[in-house]
Amino acid sequence: MAIAFKDYYQILGVPKTATEDAIRKEYRSLARKHHPDLNPGNKSAEDKFKEINEAYEVLSDPEKRLKYDQLGTNSDTEEAFRRPSGRANGQAGFHNGSDGFAGEHGTEGFSDFFEGLFSGHRAARGGNNFRMAGQDVNATITLTLEEAHSGVVRTIMLEGAEVKSKTLEVTIPPGVRDGSVIRLAGQGDRGSGGSPAGDLHLHVNLEPHPLFQLLGDDIQVQLPVTPWEAVLGAKVHVPTLGRAVEMTIPAGSQAGQRLRLRRQGLKTRAGGRGDEYVKLKIVVPSSPTAREKELFEQLAAESRFTPREPPAGRA
């Protein structure tokens, strides 16, 4: 009795030149789709799941894959699988040392084709005892700059195709940055057959801040000052990620000048802290009073200061 040839490459939907990574990727996709836990009572899905596992059992193992590839085409192989043994194109027939094969579908759920080819060489993940580690899951968490700076405990809900819906309380450590990834071991997709669950990877997204611009570990804020504060100097209060702090504006400060507040930037994962830069913006009264106009006119008449070079040809 002939045993039907199984085209494992066709079952996984990959070419014979497929890399190990490509085979693994396609296998995981198909295994997830046809997993019995996701298709309860569906005999067709269960059979397909076993077939996928069998194909991956062979193609993921370099030694088994080489032995399988040596069989040749479907027609070349058919005669090699007649009970109890046979010959085809100089290849030895494969059998399990008895007059037949063990069980209707092979030991532990694999086919007669597999058992004939790899008798006595079963892997732990095969058949009804299939084991596969759970898939890792990716999710995004959005934080304010203050939360990234100080750390926060957030409750998040995971739902969707990748993972069973669940609620988690997540501790975000101080010092995370936009694009940081927080790994929560064992909080991804559940494994099969007692294998561990995958991990949850939380990708951090920081909200734009109404005051602060993020510069790596440093922050920058734009501070409006009056013309007389810039000319005469002044002590002013400047917002930070904590409470406002007092800073001295030096006399003769210019628009666009940056002053530094040391260690008022973001906390780092290593325990340090960046700086805060204060960029000065000189503003003038948009609706000056009559007295303010009079004083500015007096200043204009008495001051010899000019920010511009005189026109060429004039003294």
- Find tokens 């290849």 and name the residue: 91
201 with 226, same domain: the answer is no
Q: What is the pLDDT of residue 72?
A: 60
Q: Is residue 246 part of a domain?
A: yes
Whether 78 is in a domain gets the answer yes
Tens of pLDDT along 257-303? 999 999 999 999 888 999 999 999 999 999 999 999 999 999 999 99
Q: Does residue 315 lie within any of the structural domains?
A: no
Q: How many domains does the chain divide into? A: 3
Identify the pLDDT of residue 103.
Answer: 29
Residue 30 sits in the same domain as residue 120:
yes
Mean of pLDDT values over 165-169:
85
pLDDT, residue 188, reads 83
Residues 286 and 236 in one domain: yes
* SS3 sequence of the chain: CECCCCCHHHHHCCCCCCCHHHHHHHHHHHHHHHCHHHCCCCHHHHHHHHHHHHHHHHHCCHHHHHHHHCCCCHHHHHHHHECCCCEECCEECCCCCCCCCCCCCCHHHCCHHHHHHCCCCCCCCCHHHCCECCCCEEEEEEECHHHHHHCEEEEEEECCCCCCCEEEEEEECCCCCCCCEEEECCCCCCCECCCCCCCEEEEEEECCCCCEEEECCEEEEEEEECHHHHHHCEEEEECCCCCCEEEEECCCCCCCCEEEECCCCCECCCCCECCEEEEEEECCCCCCCHHHHHHHHHHHHHCCCCCCCCCCCCC
Mean pLDDT of 65-75: 71
Same-domain pairing of 73 and 107: yes
**Does residue 239 form part of some domain?**
yes
Q: Is residue 3 part of a domain?
A: no
Q: What is the mean pLDDT of residues 43-67?
A: 88
Question: Within this chain, do residues 162 and 88 fall inside the same structural domain, yes or no?
Answer: no
Q: What is the extent of the structural domain holding 178?
A: 137-206
36 belongs to a structural domain: yes
Tell me the pLDDT band of 124, cut-offs 50, 70 and 90.
very low
The pLDDT value given to residue 186: 86
For 182-203, the pLDDT digits (tens) are 999 888 887 766 678 888 999 9
Residues 37 and 125 in one domain: yes
* pLDDT, position 2: 56
| CA gap 172, 193 in Å, rounded | 32
125/12 same-domain check: yes
Average pLDDT, stretch 2-11?
83
Residue where a domain terminates, one of 96, 112, 129? 129
Tell me which of 188, 206, 224 is where a domain ends.
Answer: 206
**Percent of the chain scoring above 70 in pLDDT:** 78
Confidence (pTM): 0.56
Predicted pLDDT of residue 3: 67
pLDDT confidence of residue 120? 46
pLDDT of residue 109: 63
Boundary-marking domain end, from 129, 150, 167: 129
**pLDDT tens digits, one per residue of 81-110:** 444 333 333 332 333 332 222 223 333 567
Place of tokens 């995958």: 198
Among the ranges 2-6, 67-71, 269-273, which has the highest mean pLDDT value? Answer: 269-273
Instruction: State the CATH number of the domain containing residue 52.
Output: 1.10.287.110
Q: Is residue 23 part of a domain?
A: yes
